[in-house]
Structure 1
Amino acid sequence: MMMLHPAVQLAFDGSGIDGSLFTAVTDLARDTKWLNTPLSLWTNAGLGVFAVLMLIGWWKARRRDTATMTLALVAPVAVVVAFTVAEVVKKVVAEVRPCYSLPHDYFVSACPASTDYAFPSGHTTVAAATVAALWLLQRRLAVIAAAFALLEGFTRVYLGDHYPHDVLGAALLAMPVAYLASRILGRVAVPLVERLRTGLLQPVLTAAPVGAHAAR
């Protein structure tokens, strides 16, 4: 019989919530081993997509008003706020990773340390928070981010890192936190951004309207 580390024995076991669904997804991973490496690479590299989408939002905001630029600048801050809240929740809940609770399932990812808890999913938190922040900035970018967020959440279960409820819980936590953070900071920081747009950072925060050079 497998003896668990004391820290694992004291942690919350989430396998009773949706362990069977988790197993069904990891069985899919076992049967599609040709996908294991691509999705393993994507699950971390894919986070860069959300950074790129926020950069695109900033680039487009350069031709918009100060309120829009403020939302673009606070978007990554809102993501950090959501991630920080999620990390606090993770320590409080202390849900042991699936590899400890369901050791006989198929796992693509290596089993992390016993104190690296599962709920909520950090990767999904970043993805969902980006969707919420971009929703206030530009909804087309938010829709694109949502599609990638779904893929990100799926990979976390497929690779065996998280239960489905870890992913769902991360989204339900991150989206309202990031949305509220963006709304609050998006209002409070407007005067500061207004000053920055007319100061040394003007070339970074403001772009000449299309056709301005031709008009000269």
Structure 2
Amino acid sequence: MGPPEFSADLYREITEFAVGTPSWVHSVAEVGTDAGLLLFGVLFVAGWWRARGRDARSMGLALAAPFAMVAAYLVSEVSKDAIQEERPCRAVAGAVHIAACPSPGDWSFPSNHATIAAGSAAAIVVAWRAMAPLVLPLAAVMAFSRVFVGVHYPHDVAAGFLVGVVVASVVAVLLAAVLRPVVEWSRGMAPGAVLLGARPVVAAGGDWNAPGPVPVGAPVPGGASVAAGGPGRGLMDEAAVTSPDVMGGLPPVPRGVTSTYGPHGS
């Protein structure tokens, strides 16, 4: 497969500019991609740690993030072998490049580095949206650096970036849905609670329809409070209704709940 002419022309312009930059810029551009991938790895771990105090879906997304990135990389790698586009540092006449040109058979389209960077960023954003202003620009710079050092065409990194964002986002969401019940089940055992965090406890005044126990002293509808051994959320079983309560039009009081109302609603 031959490159689009506009991409080859843009490649020449970028690499000719890059060669004229100071040597320290060359060094930063060469190591920048690998350093960025290391940062993404740290963020994967940080995302897992953060999710230990959150619900099962949040933990599922955090656990799915690195696997989503790997899935995007595999799509890119299979595409490279199928398309077999020659590297511009060999195919473009008079090409100049900062980095060493990869060996023959190491194909150019799409860029694996761009795919991994974009896939990592997308998976992190799906699990941890606050990281978007950091990881998305970083992934874009990492992708561009592959053109800057002369080992990829611009269309290589653009395609790789697109593959990374789309594949990683979709895989992260689908995989998280599969992992959610596994996380719930694992948190019920001691090793799982250590690795994945205990099930989060809803504070007093939370949703009564959510599963799980209600803390002692939590307010319930009608001004009552939960006594020790009281009901769980969603378990407002048959209420003990007294004649004065009915006469006074008060709501029924669930088992285990101490009413704050006096006789006849006083």
**TM > 0.5:** yes
From 13, 33, 45, give the equivalent of 2:2. 13
Higher RCO structure, 1 or 2 (CA under 8 Å, sep 6+)? 1
Give the 3-state SS of the residue equivalent to 1:114 in structure 2.
Answer: coil
Bigger shift: residues 111-120 or 71-80: 111-120
The aligned counterpart of 1:66 is 56
| 1:24 equivalenced with 2:13 (yes/no) | yes
**Superposed displacement of residue 15, structure 1:** 5.6
Cα distance, 1:196 vs structure 2:
2.1
State how far apart, in whole Å, the 2-side matches of 1:26 and 1:197 are: 52
Change in CA separation of 1:115 and 1:17 when aligned onto 2, cut-off 3 Å: farther
Secondary structure, aligned partner of 2:18: helix
Q: Per-residue deviation at 1:157?
A: 0.5
Match of 1:85 among 75, 81, 85: 75
Letter in 1 for 2:187: R
Which of 47, 71, 92 is equivalent to 2:37?
47
Cα deviation, residue 112, structure 1: 1.3
Pick the structure with more helix per residue.
Answer: 1
* Structure 1 Cα separation of the partners of residues 94 and 188 of structure 2: 61
Tell me, which stretches of 5 or more residues in structure 1 are unaligned?
Answer: 1-11, 210-216
TM-superposition CA deviations, 1:54-106 (whole Å, max 9, x none): 22211211111111001000100000011001111111111100111114121
Q: Which runs of 4+ in 1 moved over 6 A?
A: none
Match of 2:168 among 169, 178, 194: 178
Q: Which residue of 2 aligns with 1:76?
A: 66
Secondary structure, aligned partner of 2:95: coil
8 Å Cα contact 2:187-2:199 kept in structure 1: no
Gaps of at least 5 residues in structure 2 are 201-266
Shift in Å, 1:52? 1.4
Contact 2:88 2:150 (C-alpha < 8 Å) held by counterparts:
yes
- The structure with the largest alpha-carbon Rg is 2
Q: How many residues align?
A: 199
The aligned counterpart of 1:97 is: 87
Alpha-carbon shift at residue 42 of structure 1 (Å): 1.4
SS at match of 1:189: helix
* 2:158 counterpart letter in structure 1: L
Quote the RMSD (CA, aligned, Å).
1.8
- Per the TM alignment, residue 206 of structure 1 is displaced from its structure 2 partner at its CA by 1.0
Corresponding letter in the other structure for 1:27: E
